[in-house]
Amino acid sequence: MTLPENGENIEVASNIYCLCIKIVNVCFVGDSTKPDEWVLIDTGMPKSMNLIIDFAEEKFGEYSKPKAIILTHGHFDHVGSVIELVKKWDVPVYAHKLEIPYLNGEKDYPDPDGSVEGGFVAKISPLFPNEGINLGNCIHELPPDGSVPHMPGWSWIHTPGHTPGHISLFRNMDNFLIAGDAFVTVRQDSLYKVLIQQKELNGPPRYLTTDWENAWESVKILEKLNPKFVVTGHSLPMFGEELRNELCRLVENFDKVAIPDYGKYI
- Measured CA to CA, the distance from residue 34 to residue 164 in angstroms comes to 35
| pLDDT score for 121 | 82
CB 103 within 8 A of CB 167: no
Select from 3.30.470.10, 3.40.190.10, 3.60.15.10, 3.40.50.720 the CATH code of 9-257.
3.60.15.10
- Residue 109 has phi, psi (to 5 degrees) of -75, 155
Structure pTM? 0.94
- Measured CA to CA, the distance from residue 246 to residue 226 in angstroms comes to 12
Q: What average pLDDT does range 78-89 have in this prediction?
A: 98
Q: What average pLDDT does range 94-114 have in this prediction?
A: 98
| pLDDT score for 9 | 67
Q: Which residue has better confidence, 62 or 193?
A: 62
pLDDT digits (tens, 9 = 90+) for 4-48: 455 556 789 999 999 988 789 999 999 999 999 999 999 999 999
CB 201 within 8 A of CB 249: yes
| pLDDT score for 1 | 41
Q: What average pLDDT does range 196-221 have in this prediction?
A: 90
3-class state of residue 238 by DSSP: strand
pLDDT digits (tens, 9 = 90+) for 161-202: 999 999 999 999 999 999 999 999 965 554 444 454 556 799
pLDDT over threshold 60, residue 100: yes
